[in-house]
Amino acid sequence: MKYIDEFRDGEVAQKLAAAIGREVNPDRRYHFMEFCGGHTHAISRYGVTDLLPDNVRMIHGPGCPVCVLPIGRVDQAIRLALAHGVTLCTYGDCLRVPASDGLSLLKAKAQGGDIRMIYSCADAVALAQQNPEKQVVFFAIGFETTTPPTAVAIKQAAALGLKNFSVLCCHVLTPPAIASIMEGVDEQLQLDGFVGPAHVSTIIGSRPYEPFAAQYRKPVVIAGFEPLDVLLAIRMLIRQVNEGRAEVENEFVRAVDRDGNRKAQALMDEVFELRENFEWRGLGTLPHSARRLRAEFAEFDAERRFVLAYRPVADHKGCDCGEILRGIKRPQECKLFGTVCTPENPVGSCMVSSEGACAAHYTYGRYKDV
Partner 1 sequence: MSEPRKNYVRPLDIKHGRVDMAHGAGGRAMAQLIDELFARHLGNEWLAQGDDGAVLPAPGAGRLVMATDSHVVSPLFFPGGDIGCLSVHGTINDVAVMGAQPLWLSAAFILEEGFPLADLARIVESMAAAAKAAGVPIVTGDTKVVERGKGDGVFISTTGVGVIVAGRELSGCRARPGDVILLSGTLGDHGMAIMAGRESLGFESPIVSDTAALHGLIATMLDCGAELRVLRDPTRGGLATTLNEIARQSGVGMMLQEKVVPVSPPVAAACEFLGLDPLYVANEGKLVAICAANDAERLLAAIRAHPLGAHAAIIGSVHEDPHHFVQMTTAFGGRRIVDWLSGDQLPRIC
Residue 225 makes contact with ligand SF4 by CB under 6 A: no
Quote the least distance from Cβ 319 to ligand SF4, whole Å.
Answer: 4
Residue 96 makes contact with partner 1 by CB under 8 A: yes
CA distance 361 to 83: 36
Stretch that binds partner 1, among 140-148, 244-252, 272-280, 317-325 (CB under 8 A): 140-148
Residue 227 makes contact with partner 1 by CB under 8 A: yes
Which residue type sits at 198?
Answer: A
Kindly list the distances between the CA atom of residue 59 and the CA atoms of 14, 274, 361, in Å, as whole numbers in the listed order.
22, 29, 12
Residue 350 makes contact with ligand SF4 by CB under 6 A: yes
Per CB under 8 A, the list member of 27, 54, 187, 344 interacting with partner 1 is 344
Q: What is the 3-state secondary structure (H, E, C) of the chain?
A: CHHHHHHHCHHHHHHHHHHHHHHCCCCCCEEEEEEEHHHHHHHHHHCHHHHCCCCEEEEEEEECCCCCCCHHHHHHHHHHHHCCCCEEEECHHHHHCCCHHHCCHHHHHHCCCEEEECCCHHHHHHHHHHCCCCCEEEEEEECCCCHHHHHHHHHHHHHHCCCCEEEEEEEECHHHHHHHHHHHECCCECCCEEEECCHHHHHHCCHHHHHHHHHHCCCEEECCCCHHHHHHHHHHHHHHHHHCCCCEEECCCCCCCCCCCHHHHHHHHHHEEECCEEEECCCEEEECCEEEECHHHHHHEHHHHCCCCCCCCCCCCCCCHHHHHCCCCCHHHCCCECCCECCCCCCCHHHCCCCCHHHHHHHHHHHHHC
Total residues binding ligand SF4 (CB under 6 A): 15
| Of residues 81 and 141, the one with the C-beta less far from partner 1 | 141
* Sign of the C-alpha dihedral computed for residues 264, 267, 269 and 271 taken in this order: negative
Which of 329, 58, 72, 49 shows the shortest CA–CA distance to 188?
A: 329
With CB under 5 to 8 Å by kind, the binding choice for 119 among ligand SF4, partner 1, none is: partner 1
Residue 1 makes contact with partner 1 by CB under 8 A: yes
Residue 21 makes contact with partner 1 by CB under 8 A: no
| Of residues 141 and 358, the one with the C-beta less far from ligand SF4 | 358
Stretch that binds partner 1, among 30-38, 183-191, 280-288, 300-308 (CB under 8 A): 30-38
Residue 32 makes contact with partner 1 by CB under 8 A: no
Per CB under 8 A, the list member of 249, 301, 355, 357 interacting with partner 1 is 355
Per CB under 6 A, the list member of 189, 324, 328, 360 interacting with ligand SF4 is 324
With CB under 5 to 8 Å by kind, the binding choice for 287 among partner 1, ligand SF4, none is: none
| Of residues 34 and 226, the one with the C-beta less far from ligand SF4 | 34
Residue 331 makes contact with ligand SF4 by CB under 6 A: yes
Per CB under 8 A, the list member of 79, 171, 199, 329 interacting with partner 1 is 199
Residue 145 makes contact with partner 1 by CB under 8 A: yes
Which of 282, 227, 327, 318 shows the shortest CA–CA distance to 13?
A: 227
Quote the least distance from Cβ 326 to ligand SF4, whole Å.
Answer: 12
Quote the least distance from Cβ 117 to ligand SF4, whole Å.
Answer: 21
Stretch that binds ligand SF4, among 147-155, 180-188, 288-296, 342-350 (CB under 6 A): 342-350
Binding mask 313-342 for partner 1 (x = CB under 8 A): -----------------------------x
Residue 146 makes contact with partner 1 by CB under 8 A: yes
Q: Which residue of this chain has its Cβ atom nearest to ligand SF4 in the complex?
A: 348
Q: Which residues are near ligand SF4 by CB under 6 A?
A: 319-321, 324, 331, 334, 336-337, 341, 346-348, 350-351, 358
